[in-house]
Structure 1
Amino acid sequence: WARDTAPQAMHKTLISVMIIGLAGVLYYFSPELTDARLEADKNNVAPEVTFDSYSEGINTVFYNEDGEVDYTLRAKRQIHLNNHFTLLEKPFVQFFKDGESHWSIVAESGHVASENDTNIQMNTIQLSGDVEVHTLDDYGNPTVLSTPLLEIDPNNETLETEDAVHMETTNIIHSGLGMFADLKRDEIYFYSENSGHYEPLEKNVASEK
């Protein structure tokens, strides 16, 4: 794969955005990186499933093998079901790197699935409703991804959706259908129906003068 040699490549953080479509693979290299919904989730629960606990203002911290914070899960409210599912209102997920928050994800609602109540690791976190994924590079330049639905694999630190995705960085605006993101490698793959444009960082700087 060719690496962009533009001046902005001197930034330490590099996001590889891989656009997969009929024409092949297109690479973007950039240094920048409701209550109603909760009720809908509850109404979709099978009749034999019951609610066995309720809490507000949760803040759960998960650690890696080295004792460092791996990721955190917060929510305004949570309802735990007896089938090992947990319904979330206003979930907020953060992934950490070198002791600092690296990726942040917010949504209107969601649910968590684990194998059993004693399993300290979650299998998946499903988010829905105005899902936004945020990250910053070393210079504070933002990358924001927006989609209506998102599945998080917290153990492998990956994100996936089959829905429409909109991405904005300091110099990229891109939309596509379906996405896979590897948060450890700062890589984002768009599957199809891709459109967008790229503006060199030098042009943005010049326009501000």
Structure 2
Amino acid sequence: MTKPLAFITGNRTKLKEVKCVLDHEQKDVKPGERRIELINEKIDLPEIQGTPEEVVIAKAQDAAKAYKGPVVVDDTSLCLTAFKGMPGPYIKDFINNSGVTAISRMLDGFDDRSAVALASYAYCGGPGEEVKVFVGKLSGTIAKEPSVLKGYGFYPVFIPDGMTETISEIGDTETIVSFSHRGNAVRSLLKYLKSL
């Protein structure tokens, strides 16, 4: 029996956003047409240092080996223009150690508060198989203060281009994934998975 496709994450917000995209994009699937379903598995994976693509490829290879089947993994980056793309894929550790307010504070004194959020998704069909990467980007600016004291990741300080509110203030998952870095990446991934 073939193992089902597993989304390897312990992050409930990421899982909720991915499920929201899949449900929305597949709401008109007719009987007999292929519908992509993911199960959720939590596997602790080592996080290497490298570019966002190198990080997500390594995660996919390690996850496929541990799960012994087809997997989807993701990695999120926040690239600050003033810091030449840093903290990039290290944003999770940065926020866990310094807090989201530190992102705003580190840009005090800089004229350029622009940033790019990246969601890198990778699919691997099983141990030793080729990894396919799908990247979604969202440009924006970093607010001078967090919009809320609690919120997912950098969402309390990230204002998407063309908007006046942070992602946390927008709040509604379906609205967020309609334009977000994660939504864009998952739609590309879904198109690929349906072609298999």
Q: Structure 2 length normalisation: TM-score? A: 0.31
Higher helix share: 2
More contact order relative to length (CA 8 Å, sep ≥ 6)? 2
Higher strand share: 1
Q: Structure 1 length normalisation: TM-score? A: 0.30
